[in-house]
Amino acid sequence: MRAESAGAFEPNCPSRTVLDHVMSKWGVLVLVALTDGTARWGALRRNVEGISDKMLASTLRTLEADGLVERTAYPEVPPRVEYALTPMGEQLMERMMPLMQWVLANADAMVGAGRAQPASAS
């Protein structure tokens, strides 16, 4: 390492924690699902295919605690709750989306394929 990211290698660096939240299986997908704007619980549940109530709940709570996602509950009946990225969350996603899009574009070539050439990008 040329030191720019040295901190990430220390086990108790806060970045490790954030990284684990943000880069987790469901964390990424939930964040991506919110990049388009506010979404309700049910929408997220449907959008992020395969996620369970439990995982959606805990993922959202973690991201909220990290200050990346904001939760707004409306005192109505039936209940309505909306989730949105905070300014922090949006900054994060600005940097995450290019990565996501590259992965999406190249995933097919990678899985199993091994030595495929990158789809002329960059």
- Residues lying near its own copies in the complex (CB under 8 A) are found at 1-2, 4-5, 7-11, 13-15, 17-20, 22-25, 28-29, 32-33, 35-36, 47-50, 64-68, 86-88, 91-92, 94-104, 106-118, 121-122
Q: How far apart are CA 80 and CA 72, in angstroms?
A: 9
Nearer to DNA, 19 or 105 (CB): 19
* Binding partner of residue 9 among DNA, its own copies, none, CB cut-off 5 to 8 Å per kind: its own copies
Identify residues 54-83 at the interface with DNA (CB under 7 A).
54-55, 57, 60-61, 71, 73, 78-81, 83
Q: Alpha helices, DSSP H only, in the chain?
A: 14-22, 25-34, 41-47, 53-65, 87-110
Question: In degrees, to the nearest 5, what angle opens at C-alpha 85 toward C-alphas 79 and 90?
Answer: 170
Contact between 17 and DNA by CB under 7 A: the answer reads no
Q: Are 86 and 68 in contact (CB under 8 A)?
A: yes
